[in-house]
């Protein structure tokens, strides 16, 4: 069985849903099809939530009606029969009356916000599956809220997901297409929750891992993982093969094409991930697999660059000066206690600099560090630039080539040697675009 995920732009227009039907029914294999919300919907729902949080109910009501009008016009072009359209109208009416009912809950809390934002995926999947039904395709809608569960830290509960999913799929092995929602999940309180922005990729990978799928395919609006951020740099090109490790680094460090955690379940269960372009299905895309399966391109030194914004750098000095053993342990225990991951690290004998992206516990962390450290003022608005490739310790000149490309840009931190395939740099976000372009010119030759 394969798992195919289609993102917002891939389902964002009725004709795209028509093409997806053609794609997923082109052969007889059984597929689990994970859908995101229609493009723009999650943002629209969050904007309605903002209005409700600010008690601007009239504004929220106006936004809801505007969104509903979009869905009404969408379904008119999606369905081909009056029976199909009637079903589509029922779906839209039901979900929007639920959305309106959320407006009346006072105060409007994060719990309601999560219920509201889940409506995007609940709408797109019901609409698409009823369109498949209208077209006589053998299909089933599997409610993600019944098998996708996260723990109190927001981490997916893999054993539960696997057990529940297998149990729910068992009676339906006659169905060819199983449609489900990306992004949404339930938390330990049984409430509607989600896997954070872009989380449908993660859903696909969690399902693919749970059922030990043959392959997970992520269908989006670009022909695979590019060597650099195509929104910022011209002349980027698709990379045909990546290892799980390389792809995980790129996703974690900002390549928006994949949710940061997507690779984890796929890698755990050894399920290959293929990135494909809905607008150009014949394009080869990118295959992400283990080193042997994806190894063909691994002799290339520089493979790709990604950037992660919103980083804060902390500069921590030991009060004891030299030979301060135990210093790092004490520091990291504090980050662990506050469940705050550290992304980058640079050390000297008496100091350590770290970066974090979650600053929700920053005050507690710095208060506790101050008990045994000198702290400099943190640097905010930083960007990590992550360069991925084959940086064997036996090669000379890799760091030189990177630093030479960035010779005109101030760099705050460098991390090299954590693995043989990553070199990361920290700089102020104002230099990000210049740095990504300079690296493109210095490390890659345009291929097409």
305 CB-contact burial (10 Å; exposed 0-12 / middle 13-18 / buried 19+): buried
Q: Does 100 bind ligand ASP (CB under 6 A)?
A: no
In terms of CB distance, is 67 or 331 closer to ligand ASP?
A: 67
Compute CA distances 212 → 183, 217, 241, 257, whole Å: 20, 13, 21, 23
Residues at the interface with ligand ADP (CB under 6 A):
7-10, 36, 198, 220-222, 225-226, 229-231, 255-257, 306
Q: Do residues 250 and 226 make contact, with C-beta atoms less than 8 angstroms apart?
A: no
Of all residues in the shown chain, the one whose CB is closest to ligand ADP is 7
Q: Does 253 bind ligand ASP (CB under 6 A)?
A: no
Site mask for Mg ion (CB under 5 A), range 147-186, x = bound: ----------------------------------------
Q: Does 37 bind ligand ASP (CB under 6 A)?
A: yes
Q: Do residues 304 and 255 make contact, with C-beta atoms less than 8 angstroms apart?
A: yes
The per-residue b/e assignment along 134-145, b for 16 or more CB within 10 angstroms, e otherwise, is beeeebbbbebb
Size of the site for ligand ASP (CB under 6 A): 12
Q: Please give the Cα distance from 328 to 128 (Å, whole number).
A: 52
Compute CA distances 46 → 51, 53, 69, whole Å: 9, 10, 17
H/E run at residue 330: helix 327-337
Output the smallest distance, CB 16 to Mg ion, in A. Answer: 15
Q: Which residues contact 417 (CB under 8 A, 6 or more apart)?
A: 393
Q: Please give the Cα distance from 371 to 354 (Å, whole number).
A: 18
Q: Do residues 214 and 177 make contact, with C-beta atoms less than 8 angstroms apart?
A: no
Output the smallest distance, CB 396 to ligand ADP, in A. Answer: 28
Q: Does 199 bind Mg ion (CB under 5 A)?
A: no
Output the smallest distance, CB 39 to ligand ASP, in A. Answer: 8
Output the smallest distance, CB 243 to ligand ADP, in A. Answer: 16
In terms of CB distance, is 124 or 130 closer to ligand ADP?
A: 124
In terms of CB distance, is 236 or 262 closer to ligand ASP?
A: 262
Q: Does 198 bind Mg ion (CB under 5 A)?
A: yes
- Asked if the bond preceding 92 is cis, omega within 30° of 0, the reply is no
- Applying CB under 5 A, the span of 23-31, 132-140, 176-184, 191-199 interacting with Mg ion comes to 191-199
Q: Does 181 bind ligand ASP (CB under 6 A)?
A: no
Residue from 84, 88, 156, 182 in contact with ligand ASP (CB under 6 A): 182
Residue from 197, 330, 361, 421 in contact with ligand ASP (CB under 6 A): 197
Cα–Cα nearest to 275, from 231, 239, 249: 239
Residue from 108, 131, 147, 183 in contact with ligand ASP (CB under 6 A): 183
- Applying CB under 6 A, the span of 35-43, 135-143, 210-218, 397-405 interacting with ligand ASP comes to 35-43
Longest dimension (CA), the chain: 79
Q: Does 8 bind ligand ASP (CB under 6 A)?
A: yes
Provide φ and ψ at 70, rounded to 5°.
Answer: -60, -45
Interface residues with ligand ASP (CB under 6 A)? Answer: 7-8, 36-37, 42, 120, 182-183, 197-200
């Amino acid at each position: 069985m394969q798992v195919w995920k289609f993102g917002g732009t891939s389902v964002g227009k009725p004709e795209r849903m028509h093409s997806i039907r053609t794609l997923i029914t082109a052969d007889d294999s059984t597929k689990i099809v994970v859908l995101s919300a229609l493009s723009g919907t999650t943002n629209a729902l969050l904007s309605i939530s903002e209005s409700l949080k600010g008690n601007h109910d009239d504004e929220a009501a106006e936004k809801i009606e505007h969104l509903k009008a979009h869905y009404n016009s969408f379904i008119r072009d999606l369905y081909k029969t009056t029976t199909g359209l009637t079903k589509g109208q029922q779906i839209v009416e039901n979900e929007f009356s639920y959305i309106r009912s959320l407006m009346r809950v006072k105060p409007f809390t994060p719990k309601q916000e999560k219920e509201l934002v889940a409506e995007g995926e609940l709408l797109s999947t019901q609409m698409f599956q009823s369109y498949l039904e209208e077209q006589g395709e053998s299909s089933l809608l599997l409610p993600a809220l019944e098998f996708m569960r996260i723990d109190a830290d927001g981490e997916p509960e893999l054993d539960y997901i696997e057990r529940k999913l297998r149990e729910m799929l068992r009676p339906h092995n006659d169905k060819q297409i199983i449609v489900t929602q990306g992004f949404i999940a339930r938390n330990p309180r049984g409430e509607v929750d989600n896997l954070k922005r872009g989380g449908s990729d993660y859903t696909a990978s969690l399902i693919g891992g749970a059922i030990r799928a043959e392959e997970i395919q992520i269908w989006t609006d670009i022909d695979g993982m590019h060597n650099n951020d195509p929104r910022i740099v011209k002349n980027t090109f698709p990379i045909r093969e990546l290892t799980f490790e390389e792809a995980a680094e790129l996703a974690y460090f900002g390549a928006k094409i994949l949710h940061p955690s997507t690779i984890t379940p796929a890698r755990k269960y050894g399920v290959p991930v293929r990135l494909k372009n809905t607008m150009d299905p014949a394009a080869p895309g990118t295959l992400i697999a283990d080193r042997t399966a994806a190894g063909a391109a691994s002799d290339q030194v520089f493979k790709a660059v990604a950037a992660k914004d919103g980083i804060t750098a902390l500069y921590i000095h030991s009060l004891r000066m030299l030979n301060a053993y135990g210093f790092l342990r004490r520091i990291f225990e504090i980050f662990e206690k506050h469940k705050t991951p550290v992304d980058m690290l640079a050390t000297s004998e008496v100091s350590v600099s770290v970066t974090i992206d979650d600053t929700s516990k920053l005050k507690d962390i710095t208060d506790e560090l101050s008990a045994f450290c000198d702290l400099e003022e943190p640097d905010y608005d930083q960007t990590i630039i992550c360069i991925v490739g084959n940086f064997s310790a036996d090669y000379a000149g890799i760091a030189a080539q990177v630093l030479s490309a960035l010779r005109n840009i101030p760099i705050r931190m460098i991390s090299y040697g954590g693995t043989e395939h990553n070199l990361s740099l920290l700089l102020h976000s104002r230099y990000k675009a210049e740095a990504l372009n300079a690296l493109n010119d210095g490390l890659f030759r345009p291929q097409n």
